[in-house]
Each structure stands twice: as structure tokens, then as C-alpha cells.
Structure 1
Amino acid sequence: MAKVSIIMPLYKSGNYCFEAIESVLNQSYQDWELILVDDASGDSTLHIIKEKYNDKRILTYELEKNSGPAVARNHALSKAHGRYIAFLDSDDLWRPKKLEKQLKFMISNDIEFSYTAYEKINYKGEHMGFVGVPDSVNYNVLLKTCVIGCLTAIYDSAKLGKVNMPEISKRQDFALWLKLLKKTKFAYGIPEPLAIYRVHSDGISFNKRKAAIYTWKVYREVEGFSVLKSTYYFFHYAIRGLIRAKWPTLARKLGVMHK
């Protein structure tokens, strides 16, 4: 197989980032580099990481001013040497065989872009349920509902190139998946939960109003859709969100259950 570049932005991440880093170190697949970019946190986390981990695969960088997660991720991407690009936020975790299973799935099926199901936990680490994913999505389907969790996505830069996240304040990952799906027809999902997403009370997945606002911004400002076209896709986004909230069993059957 080939090297994986793992992108991890840091911002005042001392409470959880060591667990995230350990989940990378514990991967059964070991040909990776972990690129940490501190977004001008102004704390000692990056210094502690440098002191704690004597591993040449862990690369650390620091931005001069706070610029947001998209800028931090894009800076990490500019330093990446791996063929496969993966994402893990500093408060999330991977299962030990995440990379091994996902890369095997991609290589054996000649897949350029993939994602997996994942588990949800709260800030205390308590289980909150599982999030299933459809077998595949294309650009038009993803516009209606983003089923790809950032902590699960991997793409092949040898085939798709290095693709930057649009530098918007929220929903950068959704916007990136859309960019990638303009380069490849489908992204393919693995139904096994290979990652663990930590839910915070102030996170965008918790605040549905904020999620809706930034989803609209992706349609209008990033994709450049007309008001009419944006309304069409936003209607689907809202209806599927209602189904997830009110009828989770139906949502799982329809493949629209996600964070």
C-alpha cells in the first residue's frame, strides 16, 4: 500500500488531542505521517506534544495568527507527502484497524474517495449511538445531505490531486467533498464504524440552526447556485434532517442518518 497523510488541526486542544494522537499511533497500518497544525492557540499544547512524542512521523507546525480550521488543514495539506489524505480532528478518535481496512477497501476496489460509519460519544466519552452511511454517494446526492463524516474520509491524491478545503468558517468539509465529487463520480462507504466522533454542546452538529445557515452558504457562496437552485437542495436537506430527528429507523433505511 502507500503512505497516508493524516491532517489534524489544533486549537486549544489539550483536553482531547492526546487521545486522538494515541488512536493514530495504535493503528494496525503504520505507514503514515500525522501533520499537526496549531491555529495560534497561545497555549502549551504543541510544546507538550513535541516533548511527549519522539516519532518522526509526527510533524508539527504553528500558524502565526488564528485563521480557522480550513486554513490550518490546507497548511497541513501543503506539507503532506502521502498518497492518501485522511482527516482526524483533535477531539475525535479512530478504531485501531481504521486505516488498514479502509485502504484495503479502496485499493482492492480501485476507489478514489471513501468514508465509513462512525460512533458518537459525548465529551465524557460516553456512547451516544452509531451513525450509518449509504454504500455510495455522488455530487447530486451529497448536495441533499452530507453523509460523510470528516473523521472518516480518505481520498487518493495520486488520482484526484491535492484538493484544498474552501476557506469558509463552517462546513468546510462538506464543501471539500463536493469539490472531490466533481473530480470522481462516486464516493464509497464502509458500513462498519471505524471512527469515533465526539459531540460537544457548542459544535455545529449540535446547533442545527448554525448547520442550516452554513449549509445555505455552501450552496450560494461556494457552489454559486441561484436562489432557486439553492432552495431546491436546501429543501431536501431540511426534510432529511427532519426524518433523522423524528424517524431515525426510517432515516437509517433511507441512508440519510448522519451527524
Structure 2
Amino acid sequence: MSPFSPIESGPNGYVRTHASAGIGRIEFYHPKSNSLPSAVLQELAATVTAVSQDPAVRVIVLQSGGTGPFCAGASFDELAAIDHRDQGQQFFSGFAGVILAMIRAPQFVISRIHGKAAGGAVGLIAASDFSFAVEKASAKLSELAVGIGPFVVGPVIEKKIGLASFSQMAVDADWRDAAWCERRGLYAKVVPDVAALDAAVDAQAATLAAANPEAMAMLKRVFWTGTESWETLLAERAAMSGTLVLSDFTRNAIAAFKGK
């Protein structure tokens, strides 16, 4: 049974936390396929940071609510409403904030992927240190299809799965099945269904919660060596996306996508 209270399908979504036995669980939700508007991104980044600073938390589990997609990526409603470059950069910086909070946390972050993941969601998964997914959890980088590119999430995806696999996802913006994601290292382990997913996540989280936190923190720094300048890099990437989202091509592509 989920430790979280039942979902309230409000218009703005939520970020919730629950800590027990050394495991800090963070759940995000949005009624539109768990898409991520700025408010949810900012709250998610702040929540990851806050939970990571709790000395009682030995491991973090990131998950989303509902039974549909894990996360549909950026909010297309918000993308369509962007009307100047700074606003665009600020929106895409929201993804940078979550990625940086995840990789800077001293604890390992486990992602629980119960459904499909698109766009920015792939970046969040790549920023985790270990991820479990169900067999139906296909993933894709959809940005090029709407006239932009996976610029902000690109560095963390490339670091996780390599340049060749990242470029394949970025160029051919179609779904990759969970087996493909597991072979490339985006998913650490794929299981048949949600029951098996919860069992696997809970078992791994419990094991890590009993491990040496200093050793895990040192390993975490090793995993993310080379990211020391990412605050600057991801800000530059967000500016690139913020510029492209204002182009006529992108505006028309987003309008067409929303009209489907």
C-alpha cells in the first residue's frame, strides 16, 4: 500500500514526501499525464534538496502518482504560453534544478518507473543513481519533434547511456521499449508489473538504508565526477531551449501537438 494519501486531481499537481526507516520517498503528480509545469519543477527541486539534507534519510526514492505515464515531460500548456526568451530560459531551468538537486544529493536516488517516460522525464531518470521500470515503460526524447532539442537533459542522459545512445534518442524521436533502455543503462532493472516493481524498489531501498552512508556519499561523488560545472552548462542549455521555443516552427509544432 502506498504511504501517500490518495490523489487529489487538482489542476496544479503536487509533490509529496514520506520518510520511514531511512527511506525518503518523493512523489510528484500532475493530472495531465504527470507533465511538469514550472511550479511542480521548482517544488520538486526544493523537495529533493530538503529531503537530501535530512540526516535520517539514507536513500531517496523518486516516483510519480497515478497509473498512467511516469512522466510526460514538459507542460505543453506552459510551453505554448512562453512569450519571451527569459521566460523560456526560466522554464527550462526548472529541469536543470531538479537534475542538479538529484546528482548533488549525498544519498543514492532510486527512480520507480511505472509507465512511459517522455522528454524531460528521461533526464530525471538519467539523474537517478539506480532505476527500476516495468516492461511497459517505454521512453523517448520528443523534443526535436516539436522544434526544440533535449538540451538541458542532454548532458545527464549522455553521461548515463553514452553519446551514441543519446544521439539515437535525440535524432529519432520515437519510443524505445524498456528492454532497449535496460541494455543502454537508462534502466538498471526491468520487471514485469507494478507489484514486482514495488517489491524490487522496496528491497533495494531497504538494503541501501542499512548501508554505510559515508561510503554511499563517496560513491555518489565518484558517479557524478565531471559535473562540477553543470550549473553553468545547464543554464546555457536552458537559454538555447528558451530561444527555440519562441520560433514560429516550434510554436506551430506545439499547437499541432496540443490539437491531436
TM-score, normalised relative to structure 2: 0.29
Which of the two has greater strand per residue?
1
Which of the two has greater helix per residue?
2
TM-score, normalised relative to structure 1: 0.29
